[in-house]
Amino acid sequence: MSDHDKIYSTKFQDNIERNTLLMFVVTAVAVAIGGIVEIVPLFYLPNTAMCSSALAGADATCNNTQHKDNSGNTISMDKIVWNPATSAHKTLDEWQAGDGVRPYKPLELAGRNVYIREGCYLCHSQMIRPFRDEKDRYGHYSIAEESMYDHTYQWGSKRTGPDLARVGGKYSDEWHRRHLSYPREVVPESVMPNYYWLSDGTVNVEETVQTMKVLTIMPFNPIPKTIYTDAYIDGAAAQLEGKTEMEALIAYLQSMGNHIKFEEGVNYRD
């Protein structure tokens, strides 16, 4: 065998590659170190610490100097993330578009469950990238706070259809109903399946109520119990009673992208 054909490696490397358990341990250690390096600094960043304590109800100011609107003006954190303690609108029912990112209302959450069940994320993304062509088509690029209450994230990885991050308010409820039922009657070139049967089934009330309860005990970014109160969760069943899956999915779509006002009076869809 010539020198060019020899495989050079250390004895330590050979031992690792020949031992499945050792390879697993070394890989786990490497991944753990990488994760710690990325995650630990977040606990020391002023914005992260202040915003976490503010949302938890502590006496803290939640400021942010990172996000700017399309005119270059800094957007304060209280306009990025809705905080009932400082907002003029104290409950989800009082919340208005532009108050900041909030948890989903019961019908929207039920619609999100339908969205996930039907695999909509396989063809649609919810992540606008910071490029000029993306901004011109969809609007301001997506920011992390917009997904803070999404478990799991619906960013997607493929766009067979358009991005949906800011689809809320773009079309009427009736347009969505027609498009979901028979897509090619509205968009002739669409390859989306027909979902007319969503109008026949009602939402799973118990599943949605249980989802709300679980979201308040998530290990990261749990929904504060000052928002999803016991009374609010108990009343969710009445809000969902008799609602179809079509209504729920439309409510979810209409909730996307209108939580933050990145620039007043601008409609990128005109």
Query: How confident is the model over 118-161, as pLDDT tens digits?
Result: 999 999 999 999 888 998 899 888 988 899 899 888 999 889 99
237-248: buried (b, 16+ CB within 10 Å) or exposed (e) per residue?
eeebeebbbbbb
Does pLDDT of 54 surpass 70?
no
DSSP assignment letter at 146:
G
Give the pLDDT score at 6: 57
d(CA 122, CA 120): 5
Choices 1.20.1050.10, 1.20.200.10, 1.10.357.10, 1.10.760.10: CATH for 92-254 = 1.10.760.10
d(CA 224, CA 208): 17
Question: Which ranges in the chain are annotated with CATH 1.10.760.10?
Answer: 92-254
Q: Give the pLDDT band of residue 267 (cuts 50, 70, 90).
A: low
d(CA 79, CA 64): 10
Cα distance from N-terminal residue to C-terminal residue, the chain: 70
Over the stretch 182-207, which tens digit does the pLDDT of each residue have?
999 999 999 999 999 999 999 999 99
Give the pLDDT score at 49: 43
Does pLDDT of 56 surpass 70?
no
Question: What is the mean pLDDT of the segment spanning 30-42?
Answer: 85
Whether the Cβ atoms of residue 70 and residue 140 lie closer than 8 Å to each other: yes
Instruction: Cis check for the bond before 152: say yes or no (omega within 30 of 0).
Output: yes
pTM of this structure:
0.74
157-185: buried (b, 16+ CB within 10 Å) or exposed (e) per residue?
eeeebebbbbbbebbeeeebbebbbebee
Looking up tokens 């090619």 gives 184
Over the stretch 219-265, which tens digit does the pLDDT of each residue have?
877 898 889 999 999 999 999 999 999 999 999 999 999 898 887 65
